[in-house]
Structure 1
Amino acid sequence: MVLISKLSLTLLLALAITIPPLSQSKELKETYMSFYVNDYSAGPNSTVAAIAGIPGKQWTVTQFGTIYITDDPIMDNPDPNSAPIGRSLGTYVTSALDGLILHVSISVVFTAKEYMGSTLELQGAYKHFERRSEISVVSGTGQFRFARGYATFETYSWDPNTAHAIFLWNFTVLHYHSSNTNNMCGDHWV
């Protein structure tokens, strides 16, 4: 038993010596991005849907306990006919008793341009009736490994007749980026 403990300690010490710390192998970057999220909450091409709620209550965005799932296209401009650069995948839960706050858990999955294959993870309280609301960036993958920061959500346009909303999302993100990866961190899409 003592031999196994000494071997384990020796192995851990060897790994600690041979693996460089993250701060030595990566460079911390700050990236600013802006893009537009198209949200269709009704019709045959709906990208958001209520999937659960309190029994006996109407499932609406202002009803406490209503859960939504979303798969919204992300564009680099407000034109809904432009080519998507990613998807906003996740859930919204009306978590405030008064219906004014949603808890969001969203994965921004990039499918085009220089961030293709990377993700940013968002989580927090979204005050959906305020002009501007802030959400935490809690993680990321690919070019956004170890990301942290914040995103602001603003309503760019809303058409009640078609239930189509366009949101402007602005990101400020700190993340580690390998110095030998060829990308354009720090550039704006918009």
Structure 2
Amino acid sequence: MEARFIFASFLVLFTATSTAVNGKYYSDSHIINAPTTMKKTHLHFFFHDTLSGDNPSSVLVAKPNGTVVEEGNVGPFGAVYVFDDPLTDGPDLNSSKVIGNARGLYASTSRGSDLTLLLSSDFEFTSGEFNGSSISVFSRDPLVVEKEVAVVGGLGKFKMAKGFILLKAIYLNATNGDAILECHATIFHQ
């Protein structure tokens, strides 16, 4: 009887130990046959997000039940916007050349005082050397003057892109929510 108890205890201990050893959150890394040379491209452009006026480039499409979203307020936790914002080579939308569009959505994802969005966007370039190419952004986007967002992919000349974009608000109208962001993108790609 005592031998069975010792055997059962050993079996339980062995099973628990095996589970812990096999419960790693990662697996072995392997070298794959992939391109070993990556290009590095730096882009400088401006992103114009307009919530006001008769023809806004960003619109509210969802909000929590029973809430009122005031003009200029990104909204309460759970508010979702879609956008089709022009990208330009200069800060003035009227006198700068449009070089592409940023299209996607952002959602208010923080419940506290640290206002944060979740940004999912495709920055498509429609002129110049990168005409027809795009970079994909999916990132946490804190509502601060200077921030960094992640580049997670790309198409065209930016295939297999990864990198980041430093964003700086050079204009922000707190009343209506309109903003102009200066973008310094560092992109690694094939």
5+ residue gaps, structure 2, are 1-32
Find the counterpart in structure 1 of residue 157 from structure 2.
143
Tell me by how many angstroms 1:162 deviates: 6.3
For 1:13-162, what aligned pairs fall within 5 Å after superposition? 21-23=33-35, 27-59=37-69, 60-81=73-94, 82-98=96-112, 100-128=115-143, 130-160=144-174
Partner SS state of residue 97, structure 1? coil
Tell me by how many angstroms 1:158 deviates: 2.3
User: 2:39 and 2:35 mapped to 1: Cα distance?
Assistant: 12
Higher-RCO chain (CA-CA 8 Å, sequence separation at least 6): 1
Q: Which amino acid aligns with 2:170?
A: Y
User: 1:22 and 1:29 mapped to 2: Cα distance?
Assistant: 14
Larger Rg: 2
Q: Cα deviations across residues 77-135 of structure 1 (Å, max 9, x unaligned)?
A: 1111122100010000001112600000010011111100001000111011x121111
Query: Is contact 1:38-1:74 (8 Å) kept?
Result: yes
Q: Which amino acid aligns with 1:74?
A: L
- Runs of 4+ in structure 1 over 3 Å off: 159-164
Query: Is contact 1:152-1:171 (8 Å) kept?
Result: yes
Tell me by how many angstroms 1:163 deviates: 4.8
User: 1:37 and 1:23 mapped to 2: Cα distance?
Assistant: 32
Tell me by how many angstroms 1:23 deviates: 1.4
- State the identity as a percent: 29
Tell me by how many angstroms 1:165 deviates: 1.7
Query: Is contact 2:74-2:177 (8 Å) kept?
Result: no
Find the counterpart in structure 1 of residue 185 from structure 2.
171
Query: Is contact 1:73-1:84 (8 Å) kept?
Result: yes
Partner SS state of residue 23, structure 1? coil
Tell me by how many angstroms 1:62 deviates: 3.8
Tell me by how many angstroms 1:160 deviates: 4.8
Partner SS state of residue 107, structure 1? strand
Tell me by how many angstroms 1:38 deviates: 1.1
| CA RMSD in angstroms, aligned pairs only | 1.6
Query: Is contact 2:77-2:111 (8 Å) kept?
Result: yes
User: 2:179 and 2:171 mapped to 1: Cα distance?
Assistant: 6
